[in-house]
Structure 1
Amino acid sequence: MRHLRLTRLAAVATLIGLGLLTTHGASATSRADEPRSTPVPIATADGSLFSYVVNVSDPSESRVRTAERAVRDAGGVVVQTWPQIGVIIAHSDRGNFARQVLSSGKGAIASAGPTRTVPVTEGTPKGDQAAWDAADRRRVPRAPIGPATPPSSTAPDPRSAAQWDMEMLKVPAAHEVTAGSRGVLVGALDSGIDADHPDLAGRIDWSTSVGCVDAGRPNREVAAWRPTASDHGTHVAGIIAAERNGYGTVGVAPGVTLASVKVVNDDGLIYPEYAICGFMWAGQQRMDITNNSYFIDPFEYWCADQPEQAPAREAVRRAAAWSRSRGVVHVAAAGNSSQNLAKKTTDPASPNDGPSPTRRTINSGCLDIPTELPGVVSVSSIERSGELSPFSNYGLGAIDVAAPGSGILSTVTRDNGWGVKSGTSMAAPQVAGVLALMKSAHPDLTPAEMTDRLRAGATSRSCPTPAGGSACVGTKGDNSHYGRGIVDALAAVR
């Protein structure tokens, strides 16, 4: 994945309103004293198939149906409708589709815009959505989650001695209280999980796993959620819940259940419709936690003052907020660009799905999503020394907590083995695992209560003296490097 993504991660890895308030101070719009962000025109030419989000003005059935008719009248195909949040994913080869659907919507449509800067490569899913949904409900997974593999011995898993991150987070002490409950379900929105890996096979629930990269329509076929081009999701999954079974590594919450929610295509891209599908699926399945080690392509920062970027950003916001209202806590990696999220000025790397990016001016109304969305737990990365990892994003008010992300050992697909990776991608699942332990010990906590407890229990850490390569500002207990502090698994469960 790029943020995390296959290209950028490689540089640091060895291999509507739903009325939810943000827990870190990302703004929805830019300040009056800031410059407007640089436009990035998207050329949706006649004859080229593009993907769009269409946001309904309110999610009533009548307005959703009116919006669907408007999509078809404007020369589009309804790929997926999420009536709960009033979002439609559409394909069209009409260059003026976005303008036409707005004029055809008779007031039912609030906004519409493309989700990428290049034509669709995966094609439009065949068949009517209602028929697909009915067939999907009848589909029975080949193998639901199996029983936990009994430990081969009473000795620790042989690679656990190299898991310094577990000691830093007080995970062994937390395991004396709970190693996680099977009833707690954690969704890894990522590149897929290797269901054959010996440290993961007993942890994956096939019935709640799904693929979302078929244009954003959920696909529960096993092949749709397995990894194909990246072991990033498998590494993340091992950090969260690798099984304690006498070999390999041990996850932060080895007793909980995992769901593979594939939102990364074979080019390493996570388009808005993929993430929307992932968040909505998590809410529908009543997952407890999701881990999101990515930013949503093709823009590292989605700007509210750009009419071609704002609709997709709003659709993702709606999806994340709806699933949180259904009891899901979302954890996200802060990003690997060494940028101060509290003082954004430029973005040299977007869009990343075309021939070349546009170096653009950005402002505080441009958000790295999902990590800067309201209610999402944003995680920075630290090294074994406890200092901020050189690659990690940071920012006063932008970070909730910090966790180890440099040189983390976990599961990989090659030879069903283990390997080391670095990135905020590796820090976020540490936090997702701690939240899974918390939910296991305190099952009645709400997402807001879990987030508050996580932040309150973090180990406060002052800014380095003198400040390191990325200037640290703020006080012990709330600063730009650590947020409220380093996550503490023992505090989360007791």
Structure 2
Amino acid sequence: MSRTSRPRRLAAGLSAAALACVSLAAATEATAATAGATAAGPLMNYVVNTKATPGHVRKAEDAVKDAGGTVLTSYRQFGVVVAQSTNPNFRTDIRATHNGREVQSVGATRTAAVSEGPGGLNGIDDAEATPVLDPREGEQWDMVQIKADQAHAVTDGSRSVLVGINDSGVDDTHPDLAPNFDAADSVSCVDNGVPDTTTGAWRPTTSSHGTHVAGTVAAARNGVGIVGVAPGVRIASVKVVNDDGFIYPEYSICGIVWAAQHNMAVTNHSYFIDPFEFWCKDNGDQGAVQEAVRRAYAWATDQGTLSVAAAGNSNYDLSNKTTDSNSPNDTTSVTRTINNDCLDMPTELPGVITVASTTQARAKSSFSNFGLNKIDVAAPGSSILSTLPGNRYGLASGTSMASPHVTGVAALMKSTHPWWGPRDIERALHHEADDTACPTTPDPRCTGTTTNNAFYGEGITDALDAVTP
């Protein structure tokens, strides 16, 4: 996960949605009339949490409007409304309205004003042989480390498995990605967290990050360039990174919900949600956002979508949080005291697979976050060769590069065991990983045992075991 992981932010989302639109002019007029004489403040986005029933969500939507806000998106499945307002007293006013009792919590999703502008209103209801090497496959030491080269002698994965690349966009014209790309299930979520299915909206504009991640997961076996961990599965682009490199909560929620609605078996998340490196469980904005994002990912897991995420590139002990000097990153960062109730999202959410990074020598990458009982598994993330936009290839480093290796292994597992759900795959990823001990030269940060420690979790992911009955 990189942001430079922004290269840590980045390194280097029912069967169908029912959309009900209103005009921007009408929404703006309603907002102004409701807000009354209150002087307008900056345009801000909020999450509003309520009970997960259609009636409660409708009442929360009414409370948003009564407080001078506009509903951007509603998730009746898990009781979250994404709203927008220029009312500086929005959080107070929404609780003071007739329907305010329906609001469990409300929080701003960022500390800077919305840059993408006003949003509209939407509601979301509810064959095998010895493989022939590709030209640059010999340079992929990472595939050897996780035994993907051996796994490919058994299977390259199934076309029935769809993987979501929740990232900065994917160049579907790249010859190593085009054969496996699913445009029909691709989307952009960077316009206030509202799905945009315009052709090409999911392509990269300012970042090569998502294209690099996509190649590691599923670059095709086609006699061109490289080969991914699961070169026989399909991939879709779920764009959650805006042109400035930010991944706001409403983007990530939109992306994971879209993925679950479109039957993506696995999604890769090589980022952390901005503007906080760690979202704390308070009674304000951060706590409300943490709860909204948690609900979205839990709902997606229940729908059959496994999330795999990068652990982060701050060389930070996730099991012993003390301070955060990098947040918020969209305005002015301050050094603050934090604790373990503060979460790096989505990687620390329940049910999300947290991936640390290794070097070619099977050591912890210097940048990789770590933490006993925080890391699930490890995978190669230092100097990884993969696809870049414009028919190019290049090296990149970060836990952003490690995570897609595990996503690919999970896709192979789903291909081999199509009846498995997210929790089955999670158990198998733990059980089948290769135990990796702490360094022989003692490092006090590497606590735990050979079978589960702070640097490697349950071990280095193993693609061969993933396809072996």
TM-score using structure 2 length: 0.90
Q: CA deviation at 1:46?
A: 3.6
Q: Is the alpha carbon distance of 1:9 and 1:69 closer, same or farther for their aligned partners in structure 2, counting shifts above 3 Å?
A: closer
1:328 and 1:447 in contact (8 A); partners too: yes
Measured in 2, the distance between the counterparts of 1:166 and 1:306 equals 45
Other-structure match for 1:375: 351
Letter of the 2:459 counterpart: G
Moved over 6 A (4+): none
Instruction: Tell me if the contact between 2:268 and 2:404 (Cα under 8 Å) persists in the aligned partners.
Output: yes
Q: What's the secondary structure of 2:354's corresponding residue? A: strand
Helix, strand or coil at the partner of 1:330: strand
The answer to whether the 8 A contact 2:170-2:214 is kept is yes
Distance 1:155 1:485, change over 3 A: closer
Report what 2:109 is aligned to.
Answer: 115
* CA distance, structure 2, for counterparts of residue 471 and residue 306 of structure 1: 32
Say if 2:441 is the partner of 1:483: no
How has the CA–CA distance of structure 1 residues 281 and 8 changed in structure 2, closer, same or farther, with 3 Å as cutoff? closer
| Cα offset, 1:5, TM superposition | 3.5
1:425 maps to amino acid: S
Q: 3-state DSSP class of the match of 2:404? A: helix
Kept after mapping to 2: 8 A contact 1:4/1:293: no
| Contact 2:9–2:271 (Cα < 8 Å) also in 1 | no
2:85 alignment counterpart = 92
| Matched residue, 1:453 | 428
Q: Percent identity?
A: 53
Q: For the residues of structure 1 that align with 2:419 and 2:200, how far apart are their CA atoms? A: 35
Kindly provide the CA deviation profile for residues 151-191 of structure 1, in whole angstroms up to 9, marking residues without a partner as x.
xxx85211111100000101111112210101100001000
Deviations 1:182-235 (A, max 9, x none): 110000100000011000011111111000001000111123201000010000
Shift in Å at residue 47 of structure 1? 2.4
CA contact (8 A) 2:412 2:467 kept: yes
In the TM superposition, what are the counterparts of 1:234-273 in structure 2 within 5 Å? Answer: 234-273=211-250
The answer to whether the 8 A contact 2:136-2:225 is kept is: yes
Q: Would the alpha carbon gap of residues 319 and 119 (structure 1) be closer, same or farther in structure 2, given more than 3 Å must change?
A: same
Aligned residue identity for 2:253: I
Deviation at 1:4, TM superposition (A): 6.2
Q: How many residues align?
A: 437
2:65 partner letter: R
Partner of residue 392 from structure 1, selected from 345, 368, 375: 368
SS in 2 for 1:229: coil
The Cα shift of 1:349 comes to 0.5
2: distance between equivalents of 1:443 and 1:2? 32
SS of residue matched to 1:259: strand
**Aligned counterpart in structure 1 of residue 46 of structure 2, from 52, 55, 61:** 52
Q: Which amino acid in 1 is paired with 2:72?
A: V
Q: What secondary structure sits across from 1:478 in the alignment?
A: coil
Change in Cα spacing, 1:9 to 1:300, as seen in structure 2 (3 Å) is closer
CA distance in 1, matches of 2:171, 2:39: 39
Q: Distance in 2 between matches of 1:456 and 1:192?
A: 32
CA contact (8 A) 2:78 2:296 kept: yes
Letter in 2 for 1:95: P
Q: What amino acid is aligned across from residue 47 of structure 1 in structure 2?
A: G
| CA RMSD between the two structures | 1.7
Superimposed CA distance per residue, residues 270-294 of structure 1 (whole angstroms, 9 cap, x where no aligned partner)? 0000000011111111110000000
Q: What is the distance in 1 between the residues matched to 2:375 and 2:455? A: 7
Secondary structure of 1:318's partner? helix
Letter in 1 for 2:403: A
1 CA distance for matches of 2:441 and 2:201? 49
Contact 2:139/2:385 (<8 A) preserved? yes
In the alignment, the residues of structure 2 paired with residue 425 and residue 397 of structure 1 have an alpha-carbon distance, to the nearest angstrom, of 20
Task: Note the 1:7-156 alignment, pairs <5 A.
Answer: 7-8=7-8, 13=12, 46-56=40-50, 58-104=51-97, 105-126=99-120, 128-129=121-122, 155-156=132-133
Q: Which amino acid aligns with 1:246?
A: G
Give TM-score scaled by structure 1 length.
0.86
Q: Note the alpha carbon deviations across 1:336-378, whole angstroms, 9 max, x for none.
A: 0000000000111000001x20111110110101000000000
The alpha carbon displacement at 1:310 in A equals 0.6
**Matched residue of 1:67: which SS?**
helix
Q: Does 1:425 align with 2:400?
A: yes
Question: How far off is 1:308 after superposition?
Answer: 1.7
Equivalent residue number for residue 401 of structure 1: 377
Q: 2:276 is matched with which residue?
A: 299
Deviation at 1:3, TM superposition (A): 3.7
Q: Retained in 1: the 8 A contact 2:2–2:312? A: no
Report the CA distance shift for 1:8/1:66 in structure 2 as closer, same or farther (over 3 A): closer
Q: Encode CA deviations 1:101-153: one digit per residue, 9 max, x unaligned.
A: 12223421100010000110101224x425xx79xxxxxxxxxxxxxxxxxxx
CA distance change for structure 1 residues 179 and 427 in 2, over 3 Å: closer, same or farther? same
Equivalent residue, structure 2, for 1:440: 415
Task: Write out aligned runs for 1:192-271 (5 A).
Answer: 192-271=169-248
1:474 partnered with 2:448: yes
Structure 1 residues without counterparts, runs of 5 or longer:
14-43, 135-153
User: Structure 1 residue 69: deviation in Å?
Assistant: 0.5
Q: Give 2:424's aligned amino acid.
A: E
> How many Å separate the matches in 2 of 1:322 and 1:348?
32
CA contact (8 A) 1:463 1:481 kept: yes
> Deviation at 1:2?
5.2
Alignment of 1:366 onto 2:359: no
- Paired with 2:400 and 2:233, the residues of 1 have a C-alpha distance of 20
8 Å Cα contact 2:365/2:382 also seen in 1 = yes
Residue 184 (structure 1) aligns with = 161
Offset at residue 6 of structure 1 (A):
3.5
- Please name the residue that 2:15 is paired with: none
Match of 2:313 in 1: 336
Deviation readout 1:250-273 (Å, 9 max, x if unpaired): 000000000100000001000000
